[in-house]
Amino acid sequence: MRGEHATYACGAALGFLGDLIAADPRRGHPVAAFGRAASAVERRLWRDHRGYGTAHAVLCAGGAAAGAALVQRAVRTTAPAPLRDGARIALTAATVWAVLGGTSLGREARAVGGALAAGDLDVARERLPHLCGRDPQALDGPQMARAVVESVAENTSDAVVGALVWGALGGVPGLVAFRAVNTLDAMVGHKSPRHRRFGWASARLDDLAGWPGSRLTAALTVLAGPDRRGALRAWRADGGAHPSPNAGPVEASFAGALGVRLGGTLAYGGRVEHRPVLNDGARPVAVPDIERAVRLSRRVGVLALVTTVAARLAAGAVRRTPSRALRPAAGAVTRRAVGALARGAHDGRGPGA
């Protein structure tokens, strides 16, 4: 039987390829099913109180992770031995495909970009909510282009890199738990009157879960971007200025890599926010920058797959190596101890004499 790390690597690669070939279906997606279940739990639990929101987050995310762990255990213990590796690879591949959203992200970004390029602002406003929660009626063409680039940057971390990081750390349960936490944040983690307190736990949990993926996304953006120095400079200078601890490094590195200016004033459901400008001094976002951002996102996703799979394989190799290296030494120590005991018994002394 192949090692657990090798089967994960095969499954992750197949799942990533599956997302490239077949983007998220418009109906019947597992994440949408989780969202409906979480909404049903919210209707029963909702109170304008952080405690109830914490219970909602733990029940939904914890339940999803526990269910994934049970399925993984069932595959590991009940599948016939000749089929066990294949079953584990198939389960990982299906889960990776379900939790990744890189291809759908690019598809929606290009749809808005195409409408903007054609000068059809009505269609662009109609498609923009598929990417972000901003009020499209309050945005003109350049503002929508900026919103798309910012959404591509942030969702590269949320919909691709972060999931791969937690998959490498926790396998199928890690993948499912991350997507559940991220989905809950999108559903209740915003500062609307209904969710300001109830969604507090989901938002904080998402900040915690997204931390490693966002830093890896920023680092890979520096490596994959057309302007590496600009990406690193903007990340260092402006990454901490964003109100989101995870969106800041990612959006700043994308801004520097693409040579554009992000951030500033935006509107969410009638609420206006004035955010710090990222990569100040650069030019505003133009419509062609949407395609450049999508291509950068794709390169970052591929690098994230390679990095996380390599890290998991390396961790497995390191875990096995010490035990093999210590076996001869342990055998020698055991032989010397047995010899000393035998000599002590022969001359009439016990080991503690």
Q: How far apart are CA 47 and CA 29, in angstroms?
A: 29
**Model pLDDT, residue 322:** 55
Is residue 230 packed enough to be buried (19+ CB in 10 Å), middle (13-18) or exposed (0-12)?
buried
**Model pLDDT, residue 339:** 52
Collect all residues with Cβ–Cβ distance below 8 Å to 225 and sequence separation of at least 6: 231, 253, 254, 256, 257, 258, 296
pLDDT tens, 95-117? Answer: 999 999 999 999 999 999 999 99
Q: Measuring CA to CA, which residue among 36, 64, 95 is closest to residue 177?
A: 64
**Model pLDDT, residue 1:** 44
Amino acid at 123: V
**Model pLDDT, residue 321:** 65
Mean pLDDT by 10 residues, the chain (353 residues): 83 96 81 94 95 96 97 92 92 96 96 96 94 86 95 96 97 97 93 91 96 98 97 96 93 98 76 83 96 98 98 86 50 47 42 36
pTM above 0.85, yes or no: yes
pLDDT tens, 178-193? Answer: 999 999 999 999 888 8
User: Do 285 and 261 form a contact (C-beta atoms < 8 A)?
Assistant: yes
Tokens of 146: 């900026």
Is residue 330 packed enough to be buried (19+ CB in 10 Å), middle (13-18) or exposed (0-12)?
exposed
| Ordered DSSP codes for 102-166 | HHHHHHHHHHHHHHHHTT-HHHHHHHGGGT--S-GGG--HHHHHHHHHHHHHHHHIIIIIHHHHH
**Model pLDDT, residue 340:** 45
Q: How far apart are CA 113 and CA 86, in angstroms?
A: 41
